[in-house]
């Protein structure tokens, strides 16, 4: 059996509690199905950064790039590090340096009871958002002029490359083809962002021609937010840029029952990729055994799917669905359990 190494980075706040719950599921599945995964934990977080001044040790990025199949990450963010320097170095550092250009964020309602929308249920709320993950406003290009004066100017660039735009759009169409999703919607703001938006739209139209069996349509991102709430059933796959994707995927998380259940993958196809729940570190809930572990558990399932273990991923997702059905959840989903007990409610339902 070949072993594959998984880097586990619990991070800050409620991150470690979610990862604990996810790891107990992963370890059981790994043993029962003989997946040959070897988990290595890294304690990079705000505590470590404040103690040593180092966010990620020298050589660690190369080690992950060369020796690991995936990264399983909790959350980053700590009020003692207001500029989020460690998070930027580690999370955004991996997105950029490992070229994790696909941010994969499914929006799937797992139980009718969790729908925040009147008359929209599991049939209507089931689509996927692909967020470009290596360009846009996140590249950190820009600067100040006359900083601190009354004439201060700040410039923050929004960067799109043909290569970067084309590969995420192509990934979205390939995904639609592979999974039988009927349509791809590209959202931008090209009525105002005349250059970047123009590049996005031309690229989208070019790529769409190669996937004639899939319906393609364009929407302004402001209209997209409205339609996601008004008529989520109209979407199969959505593709958008880094910043718009950041914003609309929080809305997507709310549609599936809240940030507590949303999973995400930061993917470089065929290479080491990073999986993290969408929720943040929520410092005020840290260590209180109240955070919802389902986001981290569903993220573990997504990681297994990426590693080629679809059957095991499905078993984990079904166990979460069954735990929700039985109302064995944390408070945010209407149950009465703590983080640990909610994780165990999933564990005991694994049909391996
Ligand atoms: C996300 C987060 C990050 C982002 C933050 C923590 C930098 O909001 O993964 O959606 O903006 O991408
Ligand atoms: Mn976000």
Task: Quick: pLDDT tens for 299-339.
Answer: 999 999 999 999 999 999 999 999 999 999 999 999 999 99
Rounded Cα distance between 157 and 325, Å, is 46
pLDDT mean over 31-41: 98
Ligand with the closest atom to the CA of 76: 1
Q: Are 109 and 121 in contact (CB under 8 A)?
A: yes
Evaluate if residue 221 carries a pLDDT over 90: yes
Please give the pLDDT value at position 117: 97
Q: Would you say the C-alpha torsion 316, 317, 323, 328 has a positive or negative sign?
A: positive
- 156 closest CA partner among 251, 266, 243: 243
In the predicted model, what is the mean pLDDT of residues 32-36? 98
CA angle 86, 128, 67 (to 5 degrees): 45
> What average pLDDT does this structure show over 241-258?
96
Confidence band of 58 (pLDDT split at 50, 70, 90) = very high
- Identified catalytic residue from 49, 101, 138, 306: 138
How confident is the model over 149-156, as a mean pLDDT? 98
Q: Are 245 and 255 in contact (CB under 8 A)?
A: no
**pLDDT the model gives residue 94:** 97
Position 287 scores a pLDDT of 97
Tell me the mean pLDDT in the region 241-250. 97
Q: Which atom of ligand 1 is nearest to the CA of 88?
A: 7
246 lines ligand 1 (CB under 6 A): yes
Q: For tokens 């989520």, what's the residue?
A: 232
Q: What is the largest CA-CA distance in the chain?
A: 65
Distance CA 267, CA 70 (A): 9
242 CA to centre of ligand 1 in angstroms? 10
**What is the Cα–Cα distance from 141 to 132, expressed in whole angstroms?**
17
Q: What is the pLDDT of residues 190-206, one digit of tens each?
A: 999 999 999 999 999 99
Q: What's the residue count for the chain?
A: 352
* Beta strand 126-132 pairing with 102-108: antiparallel
Contact 211, 173 (CB under 8 A): yes
What is the pLDDT, as a whole number, of residue 2?
83
**Mean pLDDT, all residues of the chain:** 97
Is the CB of residue 199 less than 8 Å from the CB of residue 129? Answer: no
Distance, CA 318 to ligand 1 centroid (Å)? Answer: 27
Tracing tokens 């490992």 back to the chain, one arrives at 98
Q: Tell me, what's the pLDDT at 26?
A: 98
Inform me whether the pLDDT recorded for 1 exceeds 70. Answer: no
78 CB under 6 A from ligand 1? no
Contact residues for 120 (Cβ-Cβ < 8 A; gap 6+): 109, 232, 233
Write out pLDDT tens, residues 85-144.
Answer: 999 999 999 999 999 999 999 999 999 999 999 999 999 999 999 999 999 999 999 999
Q: How far is the CA of 111 from the centre of ligand 2 (A)?
A: 23
Catalytic choice (158, 246, 322, 332)? 246
Cβ < 5 A residues, ion ligand 2: 246
Angstrom CA distances, 124 to 155, 179, 233, 309, stand at 41, 17, 4, 27
The residue to mutate among 78, 84, 246, having the most atoms of ligand 1 within 8 angstroms of its beta carbon, is 246
The percent of residues in the chain predicted with pLDDT above 90, rounded, is 99
Q: Do residues 296 and 327 lie in contact, with contact meaning Cβ atoms separated by under 8 Å?
A: no
Is 281 a residue whose pLDDT tops 80?
yes
């Amino acid at each position: 059996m070949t072993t594959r190494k998984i880097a586990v980075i619990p991070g800050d706040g409620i991150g470690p509690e979610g990862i604990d719950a996810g790891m107990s599921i992963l370890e059981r599945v790994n043993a029962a199905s003989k997946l040959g995964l070897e988990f290595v934990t890294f304690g990079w977080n705000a505590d470590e950064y404040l103690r040593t001044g180092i966010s990620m040790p020298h050589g660690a990025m190369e080690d992950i790039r060369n020796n690991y199949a995936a990264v399983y990450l909790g959350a980053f963010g700590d009020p003692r590090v207001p500029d989020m320097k460690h998070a930027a170095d580690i999370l955004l550092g991996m997105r950029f340096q490992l070229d994790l250009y696909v941010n994969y964020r499914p929006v799937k309602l797992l139980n009718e009871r969790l729908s925040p929308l009147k008359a929209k249920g599991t049939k209507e709320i089931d689509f996927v958002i692909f967020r470009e993950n290596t360009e846009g406003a996140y590249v950190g290009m820009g600067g100040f002029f006359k900083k601190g004066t009354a004439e201060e100017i700040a410039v923050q660039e929004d960067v799109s490359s043909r290569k970067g735009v084309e590969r995420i759009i192509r990934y979205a169409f390939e995904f639609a083809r592979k999974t039988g999703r009927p349509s791809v919607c590209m959202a931008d703001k090209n009525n105002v962002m005349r250059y970047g938006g123009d590049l996005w739209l031309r690229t989208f139209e070019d790529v769409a021609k190669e996937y004639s069996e899939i319906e393609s349509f364009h929407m302004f991102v402001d209209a997209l937010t409205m339609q996601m709430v008004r008529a989520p059933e109209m979407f199969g796959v959505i593709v958008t840029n880094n910043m718009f994707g950041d914003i609309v995927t929080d809305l997507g998380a709310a549609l599936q029952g809240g940030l507590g259940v949303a999973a995400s993958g930061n993917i470089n196809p065929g290479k080491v990729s990073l999986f993290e729940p969408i929720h943040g570190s929520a410092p005020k809930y840290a260590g209180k055994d109240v955070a919802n572990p389902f986001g981290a558990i569903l993220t573990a399932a997504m990681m297994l799917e990426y590693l080629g273990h679809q059957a095991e991923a499905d078993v984990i997702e079904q166990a979460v669905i069954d735990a929700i059905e039985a109302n064995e959840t944390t408070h945010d989903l209407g149950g009465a359990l703590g983080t640990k007990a909610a994780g165990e409610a999933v564990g005991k339902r694994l049909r391996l």
